[in-house]
Amino acid sequence: MSTVNLFKPIKIGATQLQNRVVMAPLTRTRAQKNIPSDLAVEYYKQRGSSPGTLLISEATYIHPSSGGGGFGAETVPGIWNDSAIVAGWKKVIDGVHSEGSKMYIQLWDIGRVADYEILSKNGYDLTGPSAIAQAGDEEGAKHVRALTIPEIKQKVQRYVDAAKAALEAGADGVEVHSANGYLPDQFIHWNSNHRTDEYGGSIENRARFTLEIIDAVSAAIGADRVGVRFSPWTTFQDMEVSEEKTLPQFKYLFEQLEKRGVEDASKRLSYIHVIEPRANGIFDMTPEPWQSNEPFRKIWTGNLIRAGGFNRQLAIDTAQEDDKTLIAFGRRFIANPDLVYRLEKDLPLTKWDRDTFYVPGPKGYTDYPFYKDQLEQDQELKQ
């Protein structure tokens, strides 16, 4: 067995993995009518080609009212109680399982950053924690309204229903997307949440929505099949970051999740997934010296997936620090279907093409070469 932690097996919740390299969730806008396409089957199967690798799906709407936006309403996959959607995911997940790999579905509600026109056409309102749009969103500012308490409870239930649908499709688990300025993160952040009820006004109240989702989904499918993603340091989608406010807010979230696991092992989440301060949404950034995930890492004793700007050596060194760290790769996994194989063998990586991140079709999606094919082509050229 490898002495390098990154390539050693690890169990996360109910799921046994053979390595600690994770495919980060990556929106690719190639679904049709919210159903993953046959191209998605090939794309994920390719990336699961090293057995025992965890793939986290692209962010996936939990309900038709959860989406609509710059990404289009229907090119993002959904996961709700709809036979065509569940069948579409089943094909994807069966493909990943046939390679011996595992898949979590990332559960997504975009809240206030949705597109009002798309939502209203479908009979839904634009909602968020408060009637506050992100800076510069004039249309959003005209229409966004605060969710009522019954609507918040309904949202929590939709996460539960989506998680059940994910398991019905064969998923190994779900990841609650509480990062990058989407609905749960909008509740967490003081500048997008001005509520005066039990969902706003204090650290505890701002964390309530995310924790209620996690508790309800865990009760429904088992905490050992639930992960959550946080991005404490991102300013993406107008999330405010400050040393005084960010640290206690996210320490509280980590403490609460740790407390659940300590009090009752069956309530320990499969993992927490945290984005490094050097990543900001889909771009890189230079962190301030006080922006660090170390304070959170000290609180949480469970499995921790770390993402954002990892190259091979940094991933190896970081995973070597303890026996519970996994490393998620985003852009490198887009461009290298056999990323785990290349990392293990220390082979050169293909560079990603930003222009094809969000376009339809196979280009930049399923046509990145496997190293073995690249090698054969090079040899043919030499002959």
Ligand X SMILES: Cc1cc2nc3c(=O)[nH]c(=O)nc-3n(C[C@H](O)[C@H](O)[C@H](O)COP(=O)(O)O)c2cc1C
Nearest distance in Å: CB 28, ligand X = 7
Task: Name the residue with tokens 């403490």.
Answer: 255
Yes or no: say if 303 and 12 are a contact pair by the CB < 8 Å rule: yes
Per-residue DSSP letters for 127-185? EESSS-PPTT-HHHHHH-EEPPHHHHHHHHHHHHHHHHHHHHTT-SEEEEE--TTSHHH
Using the rule CB under 6 A, give the single segment among 91-99, 173-181, 237-245, 338-346 that binds ligand X. 173-181
Does the protein bind ligand X through residue 308 (CB under 6 A)?
Answer: yes
H or E segment and range at residue 103: strand 102-108
Does 180 engage in binding with ligand X (CB under 6 A)?
Answer: yes
Give the integer Cα–Cα distance in Å for 323 and 6: 9
Site size for ligand X (CB under 6 A): 23
Residue 282 contacts ligand X per CB under 6 A = yes
> Per-residue x/- marks for ligand X, 86-125, CB under 6 A?
--------------------x-------------------
Q: Interface with ligand X by CB under 6 A: which range of 45-53, 61-69, 124-132, 301-309?
A: 301-309
C-beta neighbour count of 350 within 10 angstroms: 18
Closest CA to 68 of 155, 107, 26, 126: 126
Binding of ligand X by 30 (CB under 6 A): no
Q: Does 229 bind ligand X (CB under 6 A)?
A: yes
* Residue entry with tokens 């924690």: 129
Our answer to whether residue 182 is catalytic in this structure is yes
CA distances from 281 to 17, 251, 263, 284, 324 (A): 27, 21, 34, 8, 25
Q: Long-range contacts: 197-200, Cβ < 8 Å, 24+? A: 197/149, 199/129, 199/149, 199/152, 200/129, 200/130
| Interface with ligand X, residue 349, by CB under 6 A | no
Please say which residue, 113 or 279, places its beta carbon nearer to ligand X. 279
Calpha distance 253→46 (Å, rounded): 35
Q: Interface with ligand X includes 27 (CB under 6 A)?
A: yes
Residue 331 as a binder of ligand X (CB under 6 A): the answer is yes
Residue type, 193: N
When asked if residue 275 is in the footprint of ligand X (CB under 6 A), the reply is yes
**Residue 349: CB minimum distance to ligand X, A:** 11
**Binding region for ligand X (CB under 6 A) out of 34-42, 62-70, 154-162, 328-336:** 328-336
The smaller minimum CB distance to ligand X, of residues 236 and 371, is found at 236
Ranked by CB distance to ligand X, the top (closest) residue is: 330
Asked if residue 315 lies in contact with residue 330, where contact means CB atoms within 8 angstroms, the answer is no
When asked if residue 307 is in the footprint of ligand X (CB under 6 A), the reply is: yes
Is residue 206 within 8 A of residue 187, CB to CB? The reply is yes
Of 44, 61, 159, 182, which is the active-site residue?
182
Could you give the angle at the alpha carbon of 230 between the alpha carbons of 70 and 174, nearest 5°? 80
Instruction: Tell me if 177 contacts ligand X by CB under 6 A.
Output: yes
What is the smallest separation between the CB atom of 27 and ligand X, expressed in angstroms? 4
Considering only 13, 25, 302, 364, the residue that binds ligand X (CB under 6 A) is: 25
C-beta closer to ligand X: residue 160 or 328? 328
The binder of ligand X chosen from 5, 19, 21, 58 (CB under 6 A)? 58
Extract the tokens encoding 300: 């949480």
Decide if residue 10 touches ligand X (CB under 6 A). Answer: no
Nearer to ligand X by Cβ, of 4 and 282: the residue is 282
Binding residue for ligand X, selected from 71, 310, 368, 371, defined by CB under 6 A: 310
Q: List the alpha helices (DSSP H) in 70-148.
A: 83-98, 116-121, 138-143
Which residues lie near ligand X (CB under 6 A)?
A: 24-27, 58-59, 106, 177, 179-180, 229, 275, 279, 282, 307-310, 329-332, 357
Which residues are designated catalytic?
182
